[in-house]
Amino acid sequence: MTFYHPIVTTDWLLEHLDDDNVRILDASVLAEETPDEFRIHPGADAYQEEHIPGAFFADLLTVFSDTKASVPLTAVSHETFVTLARGLGIHDDTTVVIYDRGPLVNASFTASDWASRLWWQFRLAGHEDVYVLAGGLPQWKKQAGPLTDEIPLAAAGTFTGSHRPELLADINDVRRAMHDDQTVIMNCLSLEDFRGESGRYPRKGHIPGSTHVFFGDLSREDGTLPLPERLHEQFRESGVLDADKRVITYCGGGVAATWNALVLTSLGREPAVYDGSLMEWTSDDANPLTLPEDS
Q: Are strands 38-42 and 29-33 parallel, antiparallel or unpaired?
A: antiparallel
Q: φ and ψ at 197, to 5 degrees? A: -95, -10
Find out if CATH 3.30.70.100 is the number for domain 165-294: no
The answer to whether 153 and 88 are in contact (CB under 8 A) is no
Contacts of 256 by beta carbon, 8 Å cutoff, 6+ apart: 111, 113, 188, 189, 215
d(CA 266, CA 7): 9
CA dihedral 145, 14, 158, 257 (to 10 degrees): -70
For the segment 49-87, what is each residue's pLDDT rounded down to a tens digit? 999 999 999 999 999 999 999 999 999 999 999 999 999
The answer to whether 97 and 60 are in contact (CB under 8 A) is no
The answer to whether 85 and 159 are in contact (CB under 8 A) is yes
For the segment 97-128, what is each residue's pLDDT rounded down to a tens digit? 999 998 766 667 888 999 999 999 999 999 99
For the segment 139-164, what is each residue's pLDDT rounded down to a tens digit? 999 999 999 999 999 999 999 999 99
pLDDT of residue 245: 97
pLDDT of residue 32: 78
For the segment 2-34, what is each residue's pLDDT rounded down to a tens digit? 567 999 999 999 999 999 999 999 999 998 776
d(CA 268, CA 2): 9
CATH class of 7-142: alpha beta
For the segment 190-233, what is each residue's pLDDT rounded down to a tens digit? 999 999 988 777 789 999 999 999 999 999 999 999 999 999 99
Q: φ and ψ at 292, to 5 degrees? A: -55, -40
Can you give the residue ranges of every domain in the chain?
7-142, 165-294
Reported pTM: 0.95
pLDDT of residue 1: 44
pLDDT for residue 276 is more than 80:
yes
Other residues' Cβ atoms within 10 Å of the Cβ of residue 54? 18
Q: Name the percent of the chain lying above pLDDT 90.
A: 87
pLDDT of residue 293: 66
7-142 with 165-294: one CATH topology?
yes
Using 50, 70 and 90 to split pLDDT, how confident is the model at 292?
confident
